[in-house]
Amino acid sequence: MSKQINLTLKVWRQSKGEAGRFETYEAKNIDTDASFLEMLDVVNDELTVKGIEPIAFEHDCREGICGCCGALVNGKTHGSHDRTTLCQLHMRHFEDGQELVIEPFRADAFPVLKDLIVDRSGLDEIITEGGYVAVKTGNAPEASTTPIKKELAEAAMDAAECIGCGACVASCPNGSAMLFTSAKVSQYALLPQGHPERAKRVKAMVSKMDELGFGNCSNEYECAVACPKGIDVKNIARLNREFIKHGFKS
Ligand code: SF4
Ligand code: FES
């Protein structure tokens, strides 16, 4: 059964190019059935009434599928509830009277744009660098003409679950995008349709990742703990194999 709780929020407020600071707000009468973003909506309504600029945060689907939302809650990406995005985190996981420190994702490659919104376009640039999959035009071929082992298809689908939220980068002490990039490389490298461009793809994506200032992987595995989609660190090993085997060829 739902109940109402009161919270104290210490929220990072910052405009682009300016120094940031924490501001304290009270979140009153929050329904425990509300999501974390709905709680912020309630706080923003009250701030607006008081003539205070609402807290800027990113969101779109609010269903855990688009990757737009994200913030640090008490130092944990997405609030660190197992396999849960911030939009799917519910207030029943918090205690009445609790203090929450809410900050944007912290990473050199994710500069703050406004309050809780960071620039994650670097992840889009890595995907773009991966290019396209070449397919023959014409009618779709019979599915059975390209047999794919069940375990490979499942591993490719698991990798494709990455929503590009960037929690892996923000949780990594090196600000590494290896888990994200490895998921994107793996979803193609595992399938025969992705093989023609695999050498070009892995080299281009890794080069872009380095160029944009993402750090290297030192096997901390914080990324896998933070990932709301359960992307496996085995993908990082696959990325390394792909790079060693194919990345030097093109
Ligand atoms: S690997 Fe996980 S944490 Fe990283 S961007 Fe993809 S979904 Fe988000
Ligand atoms: S708003 Fe789409 S994943 Fe959270």
Neighbours of 78 (CB within 10 A): 27
Q: What is the pLDDT of residue 144?
A: 82
- pTM exceeds 0.85 for this model: yes
Q: What is the pLDDT of residue 217?
A: 95
Summarize pLDDT for 215-240 with one digit per residue, the tens.
999 999 999 999 999 999 999 999 99
Q: What is the pLDDT of residue 156?
A: 97
Ligand 1 binding pocket includes 168 (Cβ within 6 Å): yes
Give me the DSSP letters along 149-207.
-HHHHHHHHHHTT-----HHHHHSTT-B-HHHHHHHHHHHHTSGGGSTTHHHHHHHHHH
Ligand 1 binding pocket includes 205 (Cβ within 6 Å): no
E-assigned strands of the chain? 4-13, 21-31, 72-73, 76-77, 99-103, 112-114, 117-118
| Position in ligand 2 atom list of the atom nearest CA 70 | 4
Q: What is the pLDDT of residue 249?
A: 60
Q: What CA–CA distance (Å, rounded) separates 141 from 155?
A: 23
Summarize pLDDT for 97-113 with one digit per residue, the tens.
999 999 999 999 999 99
Which of 77, 85, 89 to probe ligand 2 with, by most ligand atoms within 8 A of CB? 85
| Position in ligand 2 atom list of the atom nearest CA 59 | 1
Distances (CA, A) of 106 to 2, 64, 243, 246: 33, 21, 28, 33
Please give the distance, rounded to the nearest whole angstrom, from the Cα atom of residue 147 to the centre of ligand 2.
34
Q: Do 20 and 8 contact (CB within 8 A), yes or no?
A: no
Low-confidence ranges of the chain (pLDDT < 50): none
Ligand 1 binding pocket includes 178 (Cβ within 6 Å): no
